[in-house]
Structure 1
Amino acid sequence: MRTDLAASYGEERLPRYTSYPTAPHFSPAVGPDTYAEWLAGLPAGASASLYLHVPFCREMCWYCGCHTQIVRRDGLIAAYQRTLRSEIAQVSETIGRGIKVEHIHFGGGTPTIMAPEAFAELMAAMRHSFFVLPSAEIAVEIDPRTLTSEMVQAMRLSGVNRASLGVQSFDPVVQRAINRVQSYEQTASVVDRLHGAGINGINFDLIYGLPHQTVASCLDTVRRSLELGPDRFSVFGYAHVPDFKKHQRMINEAALPDGLARHDQACAIANALKEAGYVQIGLDHFARPDDAMAVAFEERTLRRNFQGYTTDKGEVLLGFGASAIGHLPQGYVQNQVQIGAYAQSIAVGRLATAKGYGLTDDDRLRADIIERIMCEFSADLGDICARHGAEPEAMLQSAARLKPLISDGIVRLDGDRLAVASDSRFLVRSVAAAFDAHLDPAKQLHSRAV
């Protein structure tokens, strides 16, 4: 991997392209009435994935970029769970039938902050309102520091079959700097309990670019993580945006690694995981070769949505909870971010949509190209453009940002087929951005490219 390119391109702030257009381009022009029309207009044979956002934590991790808040009173969490149940029923009634569900994902915040019986009730509500397929993947994000044995059993009885554990780093110096002290023993205990409950799909989340982090500490975290045998890893670069996330101001910026150091950390983690037998998938995921995600990557059926890389083939993602984002064939919708405003909307029987985006034909074309680049490090522009009734020559001419990427050897063009050079895949977001007609480089809304 080329450090000269990391220095040249790494400081640019670019989207992670879990959607196109990205969330900063959503507008209040798409509101509850539009969402209701889109839901009622879903095709009869459509299947959906469900995302439930639980925006509560017991304490704030200073690196966090999620919509969450610290809560001490369980009554607030219980009230929020009741609101989620009401929203689920409301959306289902608007659709007008029991749409099939193939994936359910609980994100946060800390979804397991709910009482075990409340979690079970929420799962029952989804099964009542939707046709959750027996083969559905049901995934929950977990903070190993707070998971109880009672919640593990509630997850087991509710059909949860995948758990994503926040690890980030096992380095105690880094942990103290980000206000997340989590021992190896705590994490190992949670993995054992999940396996004991038959929840065998285990993801670990790791982060590089944290304060005081080094290549050595990253490699030590990988070594200790491998001892616990997760079948997937997600490896993210820390996005330092203190203007948007005020709690990140608690992080000492002088202790943050620079772009080249971040690049070295990312490469070291990737190489260590590949040497351990994991397949690198797209920008930031790794999986065992027989894992469904690795198979999807090999078969070129991998997809990307707001949860990152996924095996989900559906075109409908229904988001529930404050700030949750949904994706329908017609466009994107996002709920009210503030919990109070979200709850008030649902209480009066109104969908909580605060903003969204209606897709154009050009958006769909570019979204298809960007997704293939992000998922496969390549895109057959001739094939994609033909499906959308467009000309690949015109698309290439519109991608002015592509020219320096080609001249620097990052991108190779063979006719209409575009491929990211193998030693430049860490810059895949820069390549995807070449096809982003909405990108404004002057607005520092995103994380660094490396």
Structure 2
Amino acid sequence: MDQSVKFDLDLINRYDKSGPRYTSYPTALELHDGFSEQDYKQQIALSNARGGPLSLYFHIPFCDTVCYYCACNKIITKNREHAEPYLANLFKEIALQGELFDKKRTVNQLHWGGGTPTFLDYDQMSRLMAATRQHFNLKKDDDSGEYSIEIDPRATDDQTIKQLRELGFNRISLGVQDFDPAVQQAVNRIQSEAQTFTVLESARKEGFRSTSIDLIYGLPLQTVASFSLTLDKILSVSPDRFSIFNYAHLPARFKTQRQINEVDMPSAEVKLDILQMIMQRLQEAGYIYIGMDHFAKPDDELAIAQRENKLYRNFQGYSTHSDCDLVGLGITSIGRVADSYIQNVKDLGSYEAAISKGALPIFKGFILNDDDKLRRGVITQLICHFSLSFEQIEQQYAIQFKDYFSHELNVLQTMQTDGLLTMDEKGIYVLTAGRLLIRNICMTFDRYLNTKTQQFSKVI
């Protein structure tokens, strides 16, 4: 399989509109407050009947400083004690959720995100992992599971990395965004190269199986030359993966972003130039474009899963475990259990109020119908593997593809003419020029999109 990607500026300019990132289909916008705790319990019962392993996601919302670009649900404080009431409620939620799932189901994946998970001290992290192990069937430390954590190198040292490995984590993601001092000042994230690379080296020494670096392009004061220097420095330490995100500046929605000086923002043309440079540099360095801002070495699990047609996508991004139901724990976390999506309440007060009553802290949810599951299957295949077999979908969902999706296939004819993809009797094949625009192709199959595109980020 050709895993290269072509940067076609004319196509990008014509197709660069807003659209979902499809970490789920339907997207989180379709979740509604008519979904009850009883609905969730029924879905858990269905999930237990189907069996299979589990994936757990924990949201740790605390940060000790605010990064102006951040659109995450977060609580800014320097006092680690402020995490204690939250952890007490989180432990109770772990017990409530754990009681509902079959204890024989192994947790193949576990992820701590935020916020800044390493805001917690070792005692707090140890208690959180112990509570999880008490109520869920975690794997022993044999590295067969994917237990990952997001790291802020500014809040991490060699001892922290050693402790995280002892707790069972074997994959690590380091937030960097940009090394340029002026850019760091503009977004209030001052982070040295020494801090970052010391943590990376420590993770390798402790036996972490995968190291990933997070970068953002489109931040204030960035240029092609300045971001190229950041890439130079990070390529010199050869991480296993890159996540390089397009910054979506939406100050009307995210108050923190209002602290960014608008006049310092790079133009759309500069952002495209930076993206083109990124694509060229990483391909030259031997990284595979997985899709949707993600790059990996050819021997990385994501690249292997994509070649073997086993890649999947969930609320944490690309995954190698498509057979796991995802349980979200903590405020604002989203899970996928059986045929439903579930989101927890978004603030500490609502979270504590629910937990104190012994109730699951459900905010919204959504139960997929047969059409939703079919379209999710189509979109997942396209966004993960850049191809789609009509026969596979027809066998799995008992439809005639060309009849069911006659309108969508007609719309795709324009994209075929433009060189984004080809179609034949057997399926759809995304071309190298269409891979950066995979969101546009997937949007063709989205029944809910209609007038909601303005609520999403630009595809490029």
TM-score using structure 2 length: 0.94
Deviation at 1:153, TM superposition (A): 2.9
Residue 126 (structure 1) aligned to one of 113, 132, 155: 132
Distance 1:379 1:154 in 2: 43
Separation in 1, partners of 2:352, 2:204: 36
**Which deviates further from its counterpart, 267-276 or 428-437?**
267-276
1:247 maps to amino acid: T
1:205 aligned to which of 214, 220, 242? 214
Judge conservation of contact 2:20–2:27 (CA < 8 Å) in 1.
Answer: yes
Q: What does 1:14-413 correspond to in 2, within 5 Å?
A: 14-44=19-49, 45-134=51-140, 135-399=144-408, 401-413=411-423
Ranges in structure 2 where 5+ consecutive residues have no aligned partner: 1-6
* The 10-residue stretch of structure 1 (27-36 or 148-157) with the greater mean CA deviation from structure 2: 148-157
Cα distance change of structure 1 residues 194 and 315 upon mapping to structure 2, 3 Å threshold: closer
Deviation at 1:416, TM superposition (A): 4.2
Q: Which structure 2 residues correspond to residues 1-20 of structure 1 after superposition, within 5 A?
A: 1-10=7-16, 12-20=17-25
What is the CA distance between 1:194 and its match in structure 2? 2.0
Distance 1:192 1:315, change over 3 A: closer
The answer to whether the 8 Å contact 2:148/2:171 transfers is yes
Correspondence for 1:444 = 454
Could you tell me whether the CA contact under 8 Å between 1:304 and 1:310 is conserved in 2?
Answer: yes
Q: Report if the CA contact (8 A) 2:291-2:436 is conserved.
A: no
Q: 1:14 aligns to what SS in structure 2?
A: coil
Amino acid at match of 1:424: G
> Could you tell me which amino acid in structure 1 is paired with residue 224 of structure 2?
V
Separation (CA, whole Å) in 1 of partners of 2:163 and 2:452: 47
Report how many aligned residue pairs link the two structures: 449
Q: Which residue of 1 aligns with 2:428?
A: 418
CA displacement at 1:286 relative to structure 2: 1.3
- Distance in 2, matches of 1:32 and 1:284, equals 35
Q: Which moved more, 1:256-265 or 1:99-108?
A: 256-265
1:79 partner amino acid: P
Aligned equivalents of 2:200, 2:350: Cα separation in 1: 37
Q: CA deviation at 1:401?
A: 4.5
Measure how far apart 1:58 and its partner are. 0.7
SS in 2 for 1:106: strand
How far did 1:88 drift? 1.0
Percent identity over the alignment?
39
Deviations 1:244-280 (A, max 9, x none): 2111111223332333332222221122112111122
Cα pair distance change 1:394/1:339, threshold 3 Å? farther
Counterpart Cα distance in 2 of 1:312 and 1:4: 36
2:406, 2:88 → 1: CA distance? Answer: 52
- CA shift, 1:291, in A, is 1.4
How many angstroms does 1:396 deviate by? 3.1
Counterpart CA distance in 2 for 1:54 and 1:217 is: 32
For 2:248, what is the secondary structure of its paired residue? coil
- Deviates most, 400-409 or 118-127: 400-409
Given that 1:49 and 1:314 are in contact with CA atoms closer than 8 Å, whether structure 2 keeps it comes out as no
**Larger mean Cα displacement after TM superposition, 127-136 or 323-332:** 127-136
Whether 1:428 and 2:438 are equivalent positions in the alignment is yes
- Determine the C-alpha separation between the residues in 2 that align with 1:257 and 1:398: 38
Letter in 1 for 2:395: A
Q: Which moved more, 1:170-179 or 1:396-405?
A: 396-405
* CA–CA separation in structure 2 for the residues paired with 1:210 and 1:246: 16
* Distance of 2:88 and 2:160 partners within structure 1: 18
Q: Deviations over 1:403-426 (max 9, x none)?
A: 432332222211241122212211
Let me know the Cα RMSD of the aligned residues. 1.6
1:264 maps to amino acid: D
Letter in 1 for 2:305: A
> Secondary structure of the equivalent of 1:444?
helix
**CA shift for structure 1 position 443:** 4.7
The 1-side partners of 2:65 and 2:454 are apart by 27
Higher alpha-carbon deviation: 191-200 or 237-246: 191-200
Q: Structure 2 counterpart of 1:410, which letter?
A: L
Between stretches 142-151 and 332-341, larger displacement belongs to 142-151
**2: CA distance, partners of 1:98 / 1:383:** 31
- Secondary structure in 1 aligned to 2:47? coil
Contact 1:142/1:163 (8 A) holds in 2: yes
Cα shift at 1:123: 1.1
Q: 1:385-436 CA deviation, whole Å, 9 max, x = no partner?
A: 3311122113432326534323322222112411222122111111111100
How many angstroms does 1:96 deviate by? 4.7
Distance apart, 1:21 and its partner CA: 0.5
TM-score normalised over the length of structure 1? 0.96
- Structure 1: gaps of 5 or more residues: none
Distance in 2 (CA, whole Å) between partners of 1:412 and 1:255 is 40
Q: Distance in 1 between matches of 2:435 and 2:101?
A: 41
The code of the aligned residue for 1:354 comes to F
